[in-house]
Amino acid sequence: MSILDRATRLYLLVSRLVLVTIACAMLVVMVGANAWNIVTRPFVETGIMWHQEVSILAAMWVYFAAYALTSKDDSYVRIAFLVERMGRRAERFFVATSEILVILFHGAVMLLTLKALDVVRWSETHVLELPETLFFVPLIVGSADLALTETIHLLRRWLGLASARLDPAPVATGEGG
């Protein structure tokens, strides 16, 4: 197994574990904040306002982590039946072109989000007075990971390495290919 093969497999495995951990933890935070609000609502007249800010932030992490996990598995919904009927050369062209466009899109999202941080750098949320920049972090992390993951998938295809759908076992044992 080449160093590139091992490194890309390791990145996909480790980043998958990190994203699953983040998504699960943020789901617990989101559900916990809403449950707390529901349970305490009969005892407090106006409800607990902070739960909305916490829920939105947690939901953003869940969404972008789940989307990045879809990318890790290379399991986007595709209209493959059209491309497959165009011949092998056309199929390779359209697959590569779509992957490059996805990489460029997520790279642009990341760069534009970083640029948007200048606008909200001094803003705070209304209730908890958290920095508004916290709401941009999941988007930056998610888009950066998506761009890197798609680059890995494209690179692996170009180099003729094993499928992008990776079994974690070869990384851990040093076997497979």
| Domain residue ranges in the chain | 3-165
The amino acid present at 19, given as its one-letter code, is L
6's CB contacts (< 8 A; 6+ apart) are 171, 174
Q: Which residues contact 87 (CB under 8 A, 6 or more apart)?
A: none
Distance CA 57, CA 4 (A): 35
Rounded-to-integer distance, Cα 150 and Cα 139, Å: 16
Q: What is the CA radius of gyration of the chain?
A: 20
Beta bridge mates, 131: 124
Q: Are the beta carbons of 113 and 143 closer than 8 angstroms?
A: yes
114 burial (CB, 10 Å; 0-12 / 13-18 / 19+) is: middle
- Give the CA count within 13 Å in the CB-facing half-sphere of 150: 24
Coil, helix or strand for 45? coil
pLDDT of residue 77: 58
pLDDT at 11: 93
Q: For the chain, 177 residues long, give each residue's pLDDT as a single digit of tens.
A: 789 889 999 999 999 999 999 999 999 999 999 898 888 888 877 656 788 889 999 999 999 988 888 888 766 656 666 777 778 888 778 878 888 998 999 999 999 999 999 888 888 888 888 888 898 999 999 999 999 999 998 888 888 876 655 544 444 444 444
